[in-house]
């Protein structure tokens, strides 16, 4: 293809832009060399603007260059000259359409530049507004140094703190529903850590009548003596977590020694090589895997003092403790555990000196384990020990002939087992509930006078809670565990009454200490006041004798009046305490002695007299 003469001239010398409208000819007018240099060096020329670069905020890309009908300045390279020559050969309408298309592409760059400039201006104005606000709030600090620098640093710190809080919130609460954002958390100004752990109402209405001795569980446990705490661990009640708290999370003069990689810990008494705790994590399964009440009561004394002579054995007090759980949740948790391959074959089930036979206690599965069994098959086995497990493990099985079901009728057997479990649970030194972790910690600390290092954690999401069952299956599980359901209702009532009783007793003790402290301070004040009066009277004896012939008369009258008021107030307070105790325990006899406060309402009586 032959190149026209005008195109050849364009290749030889770069084209210079024109300030006027382009000529109608197909080839631009040829300038001399001197005119081209003058046009390039002219300060207001287009070439000067191209050499100065695009405006601020616009990139140096191909679409950012100014577009005209003809190229502004051909590149010094061969590609640039050829592109300019080919552009000049296009018709005028085609060149105009191409320029419009390029302008549209430049519109995006222009929008980005405007957005960048707008955000920068907005940030600058926001900075000035915040600095003005901080200058108003922290006005006295403006004279100390440069306010702009301080406001910038403070603003940066606030922004960083806000970003950190957002990240932490997204990490803690990734979902849309978060318990930390509930308005119920802000309802009470001073939240009680022991209140409404199970999201139930704080007001508790008791169903059973218990005596003061049943509610007041305070054990005189001497860790340096010979007493022993025995933990009865029922399957899937949270006993593993509580057992770890006993060996790793309790404040002791000589803490338990727990080595890495070992489950058992060494829990010795101070100054003795003898354990004070009989549990899975201290002595292991010495009486069998998950030994029940019948096994522990006959096995623990023999294991602890078996090597000693009967005459040299100390008189120990065995304090039994355990943890209970809601029967439906415990049953589902045990089913999930059996699905994963748990069998508890190592359990001895020793009763009356012998284990049960295969006819007395048949197996529900034929293989090595019962892994993968469905819930329906788990519930249909009549010999499943998961049914009413808590009642069976807390009762004395020797009363019903151990595992021999032919000794007595089933109805009578169930009644004897339930009453035995209730009696053993009530006379235990301590028992807790999985659904009330903080209350369990509180009652244990008050019972044994031993404090834990860190508070217990209430886990509302467990493997049992992840199992979705309908109402029919739940009713069937409750029917299979009807003895456990009744025992748990009894245990929950007793547990909450004990907690309420201990909290009231704690509040009364704190009030008594405050009254004693106020009495002491008031007595010191009256003593110093009388001493100052006596000193002033001794300094001016003549004046005092003329004004008051008996200087100690007022003091004696005041002291007698205070003593009378104190005696009357103590009597009134004792009568009020007796009335309150009778209201709290309607079945309790009023002749039980209560601790009297010798100095109650002393300050109130003095203030009334004044």
- CA angle in degrees (0–180, nearest 5) for 293-298-303: 115
Count the Cβ atoms, other than its own, within 10 Å of residue 235: 21
And the tokens for 126? 């926001």
Q: Which of 341, 337, 150 is nearest to 239 (CA)?
A: 337
- In angstroms, the CA 240 to CA 290 distance is 11
Q: Which of 365, 362, 455 is nearest to 405 (CA)?
A: 362
CA separation, residue 477 to residues 81, 126, 161, 175, 378 (Å): 90, 64, 51, 32, 11
What is the predicted pLDDT for the residue at 193?
A: 52
DSSP 280: T
Query: pLDDT tens digit string along 153-207?
Result: 777 777 778 877 877 766 655 544 454 444 444 444 444 555 555 544 456 789 9
- Contact 496/350 with Cβ under 8 angstroms? no
And the tokens for 77? 């390279």
- CA angle in degrees (0–180, nearest 5) for 365-358-422: 90
- In angstroms, the CA 395 to CA 239 distance is 18
Query: pLDDT tens digit string along 60-109?
Result: 444 444 444 444 444 445 656 666 666 677 777 777 777 776 666 566 66
Confidence of residue 294 (pLDDT cuts 50, 70, 90): very high
- CA angle in degrees (0–180, nearest 5) for 376-380-386: 95
Please compute the mean of the pLDDT values over residues 108-133 and round it to a whole number. Answer: 74
DSSP 372: T
Please compute the mean of the pLDDT values over residues 272-293 and round it to a whole number. Answer: 95
What is the predicted pLDDT for the residue at 197?
A: 55
And the tokens for 120? 């920068």
Least confident of 165-174, 288-297, 341-350: 165-174
Q: Is residue 543 over pLDDT 50?
A: yes
Please compute the mean of the pLDDT values over residues 558-579 and round it to a whole number. Answer: 56
Count of residues for the chain? Answer: 610
- In the block, residue with structure tokens 């003809």: 70
What is the predicted pLDDT for the residue at 395?
A: 97
DSSP 408: S
- Contact 362/403 with Cβ under 8 angstroms? no
Confidence of residue 512 (pLDDT cuts 50, 70, 90): very high
- Contact 236/330 with Cβ under 8 angstroms? yes
CA 324 from chain centre, in angstroms, equals 22
Highest mean pLDDT among 19-23, 129-133, 507-511, 577-581: 507-511
What is the predicted pLDDT for the residue at 83?
A: 64
As annotated, the active-site residues are 290
pTM, two decimals, is: 0.59
Locate the domains of the chain by residue range.
197-512
**Parallel, antiparallel or unpaired: strands 318-324 and 265-266:** unpaired
Count the Cβ atoms, other than its own, within 10 Å of residue 458: 14
Phi/psi at 258 (5° precision): -115, 120
Q: Which of 297, 371, 294, 282 is nearest to 335 (CA)?
A: 371
Query: pLDDT tens digit string along 230-268?
Result: 999 999 999 999 999 999 999 999 999 998 888 899 999
What is the predicted pLDDT for the residue at 492?
A: 96
Over the chain, what is the mean pLDDT?
75
**Parallel, antiparallel or unpaired: strands 228-232 and 277-278:** parallel
Q: Is 103 helix (H, G, I), strand (E, B) or coil?
A: helix
Q: Is residue 58 over pLDDT 70?
A: no
And the tokens for 80? 């640039």
- In angstroms, the CA 234 to CA 14 distance is 97
Q: Is residue 432 over pLDDT 90?
A: yes
Across 337-368, b (16+ Cβ under 10 Å) vs e yields: bbbeeebeeebbbbbeeeebeeebeeebeeee
Confidence of residue 541 (pLDDT cuts 50, 70, 90): low
Please compute the mean of the pLDDT values over residues 287-314 and round it to a whole number. Answer: 86
- In angstroms, the CA 299 to CA 294 distance is 9
Share of the chain above pLDDT 70, in %: 62
- Contact 439/197 with Cβ under 8 angstroms? yes
Q: Indicate left, alpha or beta for 334 from its phi (over 0: left) and psi (-120 to 50: alpha).
A: alpha
The residues that bridge with 431 in the sheet, in sequence order, are 322
- In angstroms, the CA 485 to CA 479 distance is 9
What is the predicted pLDDT for the residue at 20?
A: 44
Please compute the mean of the pLDDT values over residues 20-42 and round it to a whole number. Answer: 46
The residues that bridge with 231 in the sheet, in sequence order, are 321
């Amino acid at each position: 293809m032959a190149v026209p003469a005008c195109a050849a001239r364009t290749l030889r010398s770069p084209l210079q832009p024109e300030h006027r409208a382009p000529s109608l000819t197909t080839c631009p007018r040829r300038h001399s060399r001197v005119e081209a240099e003058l046009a390039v060096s002219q300060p207001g020329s287009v070439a000067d603007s191209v050499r100065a670069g695009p405006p601020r905020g616009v990139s140096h890309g191909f679409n950012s260059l100014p577009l005209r009908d003809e190229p502004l300045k051909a590149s010094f390279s061969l590609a640039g000259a050829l592109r300019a020559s080919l552009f000049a050969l296009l018709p005028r309408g085609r060149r105009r359409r191409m320029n419009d298309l390029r302008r549209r592409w430049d519109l995006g760059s222009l929008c980005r530049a405007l957005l960048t400039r707008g955000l920068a201006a907005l940030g600058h104005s926001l900075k000035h507004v915040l600095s003005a606000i901080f200058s108003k709030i922290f006005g006295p600090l403006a004279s100390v140094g440069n306010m702009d620098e301080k406001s910038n640093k403070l603003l940066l710190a606030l922004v960083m703190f806000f970003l950190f809080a957002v990240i932490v919130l997204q990490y803690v609460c990734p979902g849309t529903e978060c318990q930390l954002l509930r308005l119920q958390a802000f309802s009470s100004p001073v939240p009680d850590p022991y209140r409404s752990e199970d999201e139930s109402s704080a007001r508790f209405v008791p169903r059973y009548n218990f005596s003061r001795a049943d509610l007041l569980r305070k054990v005189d446990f001497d860790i340096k003596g010979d007493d022993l705490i025995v933990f009865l661990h029922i399957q899937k009640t949270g006993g593993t977590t509580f057992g770890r708290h006993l060996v790793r999370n309790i404040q002791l003069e000589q803490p338990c020694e727990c080595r890495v990689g070992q489950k058992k810990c060494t829990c010795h008494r101070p100054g003795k090589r003898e354990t004070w705790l009989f549990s899975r994590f201290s002595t292991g399964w010495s009486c069998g895997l998950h030994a029940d009440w019948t096994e522990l009561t006959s096995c623990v004394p023999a294991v602890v003092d078996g090597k000693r002579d009967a005459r040299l054995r100390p008189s120990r007090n065995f304090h039994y403790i355990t943890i209970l759980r809601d029967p439906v949740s415990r049953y589902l948790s045990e089913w999930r555990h059996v699905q994963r391959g748990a069998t508890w074959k190592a359990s001895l089930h020793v009763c009356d000196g012998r284990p049960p036979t295969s006819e007395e206690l048949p197996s529900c599965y034929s293989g090595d384990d019962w892994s993968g069994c469905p819930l329906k098959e788990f519930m249909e086995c009549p010999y499943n020990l998961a049914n009413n497990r808590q009642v069976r493990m807390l009762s004395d099985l020797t009363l019903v002939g151990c595992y021999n079901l032919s000794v007595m009728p089933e109805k009578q057997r169930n009644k004897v087992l339930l009453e035995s479990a209730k009696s053993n649970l009530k006379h235990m030194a301590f028992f807790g509930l999985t659904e009330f972790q903080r209350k369990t910690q509180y009652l244990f600390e008050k019972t044994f006078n031993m404090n834990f290092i860190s508070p217990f954690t209430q886990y509302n999401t467990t493997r049992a809670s992840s199992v979705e069952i309908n109402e029919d299956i739940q009713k069937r599980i409750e029917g299979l565990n009807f003895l456990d359901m009744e025992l748990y209702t009894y245990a929950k009532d007793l547990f909450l009454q004990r907690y309420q009783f201990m909290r009231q007793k704690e509040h009364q003790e704190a009030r008594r200490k405050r009254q004693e402290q106020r009495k002491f301070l008031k007595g010191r004040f009256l003593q110093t006041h009388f001493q100052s009066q006596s000193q002033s009277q001794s300094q001016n004896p003549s004046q005092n004798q003329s004004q008051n012939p008996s200087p100690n008369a007022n003091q004696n009258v005041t002291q007698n009046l205070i003593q009378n008021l104190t005696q009357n107030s103590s009597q009134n307070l004792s009568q009020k305490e007796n009335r309150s105790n009778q209201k709290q325990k309607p079945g309790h006899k009023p002749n039980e002695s209560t601790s009297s406060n010798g100095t109650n309402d002393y300050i109130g009586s003095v203030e009334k007299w004044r």
